[in-house]
Structures are given as structure tokens and as C-alpha cells.
Structure 1
Amino acid sequence: MKTLYFDCFSGISGDMVIGALIDAGADPEFLAEELKKLKIDDEYELGWKKVVKNGITSTKFDVILLDSISVNNADDHSHEHTHSHDHSHDHSHEHTHSHDHNHDHSHEHMHNHDHSHDHSHSHSHHHRSYKDIMKLILEADLSDNVKNTALNIFEKIGRAEGHIHGMPLEQVHFHEVGAVDSIIDIVGAAILFHHLEVSVIKASAIPVGTGRIKIDHGIYPVPAPATLEILKGIPLEHTNIRGELTTPTGAAIVAAMADEFCAFPSLKVQAIGYGAGTKTFAEHPNVLRVIIGEQA
């Protein structure tokens, strides 16, 4: 039985999931072609490259917004929060944000991506409601399995936001998760899970980090409210690392997809992938490890 195990020792985010799956052997060109079926490919370009995180070669996945915006994911997807803020890119999250732009870019698959980012971009466009996102996915020429998986992930986030803000799911307006990059991460993850033909998905306990993050509503504790709500019923792991290790999108992907949360399972390992986050920590590599193998 083909099993995929998420080893989330440094947390999980949407871009880390895609990077890890590509690193484990998923075809990024297939991903790019399938994502075109959403018919929003005039709004973004994809990039993937090899970077080194504290000695571990991993794959960094990026979504580059086009429509007058030069980049979005370079901030480790911390702006995935669905807390109705407006992508002001005030990412003073008490993280060091030491972007790993000095790594080996020799394997870069990016277009016009020079890392000279102006973090003052408003990102106020492309905010989509839950209904907008459902329509986008349902009307795409994707397989039913991919559609159902993506919708399940979005529903996790939508219900968490609705609970926090006291509104029904249908009235939830996704601001940052409604932005293009997070749609790509979630639908992309669904595409690659099914492309890899994995039968079972398991995951470790989820470290969420410590400290505070600044969002439009003010200073919030880590984990962010949406992240914590999504992870209800899922084992969390204590860590003293200051920073947001798990984002709402990462939490929703693992919450929707994992059949079990457990210690490392008995596997005959076939593939290993490392998906890079953007932040760099002094004591450990900021990567998501994916292990794929046969389980008896």
C-alpha cells in the first residue's frame, strides 16, 4: 500500500508541501499544465528551484503574481492568514525573515524573478469569496478526485474562519487565502497527491511555533487563530522556536489529507522529498520532509 508520510519537524505551509512533493519526484511541468485548467494562469507564473537549508538540499516552490505584483511567496506564505487583512505585507512577525536568496540558484525554473521585492504591494486585488473559489474549482477541467480534495481543504479553512468571525461558511470572504498563490498551493497539492497515486497519507504531530505575529487585527499569538481552529483534534508538538512554523493553508492541507497522525510508520522507503520554507533558523533546517514508500 503506497503511503506518504509528512514529517513536519519544522511545521508545514502550502509552498513547503508543493516543494516537498516535487522534490520527492512529482512532475512540476504536469502540475503547471493541470493548474492552467483553473483559467487564472494570466495572473501568475510558477517557479521552483533547489536551495540549501542548513545543509539540506531542498526544493523551493514559488508563485509569482503578474498583475502589477512582482512576487508573493517570498515571505514564507506567512501572509496566508485568512484574518480578513489586506495583504499589506506588514510581515513583522518577530521572525528573522532572513530570506535564503544567497542559495544556489543554478537549477532555477523561474521567469523574471529577481528577488528585488517591494513589500509595499497592496495585494488588495484577487480576493475571492468561498463561493468564488468553489466555482473556480468546480468549473475547471480537473478530475473529480482533485476537485473534491481541493474543496475539502478550502472548506477546512472556510469553516475555521466562519467560526472565528461568527458567520456561516457561505458568507466567508477569503482575503489572503483567496489570493492566487494560496489557490495554487491548495489545488496544486491536490493535483500532486493524486498524480503520485498515494493510497494512504500519514503525518507527524504538528509543531506550530511560538511568539507573536502581526496581522491587520493587531498582534496575535502563534499559532494564529485560524491555524489553531483548523488543527483542533490533531496532535500539536511543543517547540521553543520563535516564529510561525505552520500556516493556515499548511494546516488545512494536512488536516484534510492525513488519514492518521502518528510516529514514523514502518515503510519500505521509495522516495524522499524536502520542501523549503523561506525563513532560516539557526538550529535546524526549515524544510518539510515527505517520505513515500510501501507499507505492508
Structure 2
Amino acid sequence: MKALYLDCPSGISGDMLLAGLIDLGLDIVALERLFHQAGMDVDLRTVQDVRCGLAGKRLEVRSSTAQPLRRLPEILELLDGLPLVPDVGRRTRRAFERLAEVEAKVHGVDPSDIHFHEVGAVDTVVDVVGAFWGLHELGINTVHAGPLPWFRGQVRCAHGLLPLPAPAVVELLHGKPVFSTDHAVELITPTGALLVDQLADEFRPGPQGTLLQCGIGLGTMDLPAQPNALRCLLYSPSLSGNEKGLPNAGLERTEEIVQFSTNIDHLTGEELGGCFEALFQAGALDVLFLPGMMKKNRPGGQLQVLCRPEHAAAVQQAVFRQTLTLGVRRQRMERVVLPRRETVAETSLGELPIKQAEIEGRRYERPEFEALQELAQRTGRSVAQLRYLLEPCNAPDQQCAKKTLEVKDGRNEGDERGE
């Protein structure tokens, strides 16, 4: 079981994170080969450097080809050419789509009109792809992060002279813990903020478990009295609960959530389907559409969106923006959740990520659909075949050979989008 803790007292950028993963053992040659296979002119190398007495790795990305200004479709086309496993490809695409939405919001334009001036260059594609690919290669499924530094100053970009943190960074930092500093330089870049937004499952003061390794990713700035460095702490999370390893097994937990609902009869099927991912990116835990007959005998339905209270403002705004509805009903309610964890089952066809929960002393397990898709591609079978071939053991007295990859400590994160 591996987790990553991002210690960010000096901020974070895409190259610092990727350099930290390389310092943890990520194969930079294999990463460079990945881009070459897609026809991208990329030369990667790391430099051993020192910042304020702290040694680490600094990443250099070079390309002999001038980079054009790219819109989101060009970025996505570039990603489609990379030989990525489905989950890495999906998460990478989602990250750039999220960035397009943020840039469009802060500049008051449509996402399709955004030119990725500062982030369209090949080095940022390398940083974002490398981060998701690197976590997959290192077997890291959980990412935690510490509080993020707030800084001031100005930065000159394609839009002119803007205050720091840059507008896109401020938008990406919504709902995340920050602390004040006296630094007047860009400690958190848009790419760094994007990766924290998309990777961090939880913010906490520090890692909890057994420390395995520390990777140091260095930036290029000389900060007063502290190194411009990101510490990537690889650790094995500590387990709690009974001997089966389930956190607080048998103890249901009650938490407060916010539900938004609105009637929809004016969107096409494509437009309605497109709302879902945008709502999830805004912080929704679950999105549901209940079909029915609306006024004037028109087919339509009710859109229901669940989120945590701290994400309510962003999710409410996303509902209005994505649906153009004229009104939203909002109510606070409680939900009861079971403790759960994610494990990997050792099967005759290879490893298979599964979810595990316990109800009244009986253990229930089920594989994730994305995991079945990936295993199906590796083995040449269909998902339907795998469901019959790989029967999880759902009884407490049966023994399954598993190794734990991730413990959610009873939180309802990531793929837990359900009531």
C-alpha cells in the first residue's frame, strides 16, 4: 500500500512535482520514450542541484520545435496520440478540460476559445501527463497534501500584467487550505495548482503511517531563508479498525451534505450528458437525472446533485452555468456512510482493484468498472466475461490473497460517487 504526501511550504509547480517523482525512482527514460512514440519532440533530463542547502533533482524539458498556441481540442488531440493506459489518459484529459473551464471563467470567454498561452507549450504537457503516468508507474493510488503558501506580486503573461497568485491559480485554490507568506514571487504556478486540484484526495498536516522514501523536486528560484523545493513523501498509510483492515469496521458514520435539484426540460441529451463531468469537477459527489413528464406534457426530468458543504458554492454555480436553469432548490441533509477501503485482488489474470466494505459482519467486494476495462484490454477478454471469471469472495470466512493499496479512513472520496 503506497500513498504520496506533498509537502509544499515553498509552493508547487508541474516540473517540481515530476522531478520529485523522478527522485523517488520514476524512470525518466521510459517517460521520454512515451512522448517519442507519439511523435513529440521532447528531451528530458534531470540535474542534481542544491537550494538553500537542500539537495534534490531539477527537471529540464527541451524541444527543438517551436510550440504553437493551442486550444483545448489541439491539446486533447495531442493526448490521444500518447500510449497511455485508460485511467491515466482519462484523468489527464479531465485535468486539461478543468483548466480550460477555469481559464474561461476568469477571462470571461468560452472554454473552446481559450488559447493555452502559458500552458500550451510541450513542457506543461510533459508535466501533467508525467504526473498522472508517474503515479500509475510507482503504484501510488492516494495523494495527500499539506497547506499551500499564499504569495503576492505581479506576473506578466499574454493577457498583460496580472496580480499574484494568477487568477486561474486563485480559482483552482478554492476550498483548499492556504497560509500567508511574505514572498513576492510565483510560488504556485497554474500547472502546479491544477495538479494539486486534480490529485489531492485530502489535505492534512502530514503523512500518517510508515515513511518509505523522500523525493525532492527543486524549482529555479532562490528564496530567502528557505529552499525552493517540493518534498514528495512516499509512505505506507497506517491501518485502523479490525484485523480485516477495514477502517472502523461496523461503525457507520453520519455526515452533512448539500443536495441541489432542478427540473430540466430544455436540454438535449448531449447537453445533459455533458453536464455530469463538469459538475463532478466542481466538487459534486453524485449526479443523478430522474426522467419524467414536465409541464405542457414535455419529456424532461429532475437533476439532483450532491456535494459537501464546503463545495456548495462552486457546485451551485456549476449547475446554473451548465444547465442554464432559472432556479435551483437547495437543502442540507444527512447521509450515513459505511467505512470502506480499496484493495487489489491477486487473480489468475493479474491484479484487479476492488472496493471492500462490511455490513453486519459480512464482507462485500466488487471491482471497479474502469479496472475491469483495463484488465479486459490486457487479457483480450470482454468486461462481461471477466465478471463471470473473477468471482470476488464475499464471505468473512473465505480467504482471498490481496494486498492493500489504499485506505480511505472512512472518507467518501474519488470513485465513491454514490449515496
Normalized against structure 2, the TM-score is what? 0.55
Which shows bigger deviation, 252-261 or 125-134? 125-134
The answer (yes or no) to whether the contact 2:28–2:44 under 8 Å persists in 1 is no
Alignment of 1:191-230 (within 5 A): 191-230=133-172
The answer (yes or no) to whether the contact 2:58–2:218 under 8 Å persists in 1 is yes
The CA distance in 1 between the partners of 2:131 and 2:63, in whole Å, is: 18
The CA distance in 2 between the partners of 1:126 and 1:255, in whole Å, is: 26
| Correspondence for 2:113 | 171
Alignment counterpart, residue 232 of structure 1, candidates 167, 174, 182: 174
The CA distance in 1 between the partners of 2:142 and 2:64, in whole Å, is: 36
**CA separation of 1:165/1:34 partners in 2, compared to 1, >3 Å: closer, same or farther?**
same
| Correspondence for 2:39 | 39
Q: Alpha-carbon deviations, 1:86-141, whole Å to 9, x = none?
A: xxxxxxxxxxxxxxxxxxxxxxxxxxxxxxxxxxxxxxx42211011112212322
Q: Alpha-carbon deviations, 1:202-252, whole Å to 9, x = none?
A: 011111422222224333211000111111111122111121100000000
Which shows bigger deviation, 152-161 or 212-221? 212-221
| Correspondence for 2:341 | none
| Correspondence for 1:52 | 50
Q: Please give the secondary structure, in 2, of the residue aligned with 1:271.
A: strand
Q: Please give the secondary structure, in 1, of the residue aligned with 2:206.
A: coil
| Correspondence for 1:155 | 97
Does residue 65 of structure 1 match 2:81? no
The answer (yes or no) to whether the contact 1:2–1:294 under 8 Å persists in 2 is yes
The CA distance in 2 between the partners of 1:292 and 1:227, in whole Å, is: 26
Q: Alpha-carbon deviations, 1:4-33, whole Å to 9, x = none?
A: 000011000011011111112211112112
Question: Which has the higher Rg, Structure 1 or Structure 2?
Answer: 2
**CA separation of 1:259/1:216 partners in 2, compared to 1, >3 Å: closer, same or farther?**
same
Q: Please give the secondary structure, in 2, of the residue aligned with 1:167.
A: coil
Alignment counterpart, residue 73 of structure 2, candidates 111, 120, 131: 131
The CA distance in 2 between the partners of 1:283 and 1:248, in whole Å, is: 24
Question: Structure 1 vs Structure 2: percent identity of aligned residues?
Answer: 36
Which shows bigger deviation, 166-175 or 180-189? 166-175
**CA separation of 1:233/1:6 partners in 2, compared to 1, >3 Å: closer, same or farther?**
same
**CA separation of 1:280/1:149 partners in 2, compared to 1, >3 Å: closer, same or farther?**
same
The answer (yes or no) to whether the contact 1:4–1:198 under 8 Å persists in 2 is yes
Which shows bigger deviation, 15-24 or 164-173? 164-173
| Correspondence for 2:321 | none
1:260 to partner: Cα distance: 0.5
Point out where structure 2 has 5 or more consecutive residues left out of the alignment.
239-419
Q: Please give the secondary structure, in 1, of the residue aligned with 2:106.
A: helix
1:267 to partner: Cα distance: 2.0
The CA distance in 1 between the partners of 2:72 and 2:160, in whole Å, is: 24
| Correspondence for 1:11 | 11
| Correspondence for 1:106 | none
Residue 55 of structure 1 aligns to which amino acid in structure 2? Answer: G
| Correspondence for 1:247 | 189
Higher RCO, 1 vs 2 (CA within 8 Å, ≥6 residues apart): 1
| Correspondence for 1:29 | 29
Point out where structure 1 has 5 or more consecutive residues left out of the alignment.
70-124
Residue 279 of structure 1 aligns to which amino acid in structure 2? Answer: M
Residue 189 of structure 2 aligns to which amino acid in structure 1? Answer: T
The CA distance in 1 between the partners of 2:158 and 2:70, in whole Å, is: 18
The answer (yes or no) to whether the contact 2:117–2:158 under 8 Å persists in 1 is no
| Correspondence for 2:402 | none
1:264 to partner: Cα distance: 0.1
1:161 to partner: Cα distance: 0.5
1:276 to partner: Cα distance: 0.6
Residue 32 of structure 1 aligns to which amino acid in structure 2? Answer: E
The CA distance in 2 between the partners of 1:200 and 1:282, in whole Å, is: 32
1:34 to partner: Cα distance: 1.9
1:282 to partner: Cα distance: 2.1
Q: Please give the secondary structure, in 1, of the residue aligned with 2:31.
A: helix
Residue 262 of structure 1 aligns to which amino acid in structure 2? Answer: R
The answer (yes or no) to whether the contact 1:212–1:222 under 8 Å persists in 2 is yes
| Correspondence for 2:213 | 271
1:52 to partner: Cα distance: 0.7
1:265 to partner: Cα distance: 2.4
| Correspondence for 1:76 | none
Higher strand share: 2
The CA distance in 2 between the partners of 1:36 and 1:186, in whole Å, is: 16
1:199 to partner: Cα distance: 1.8
Q: Please give the secondary structure, in 2, of the residue aligned with 1:272.
A: strand
The CA distance in 2 between the partners of 1:231 and 1:37, in whole Å, is: 34
Residue 11 of structure 1 aligns to which amino acid in structure 2? Answer: G
The answer (yes or no) to whether the contact 1:25–1:271 under 8 Å persists in 2 is no
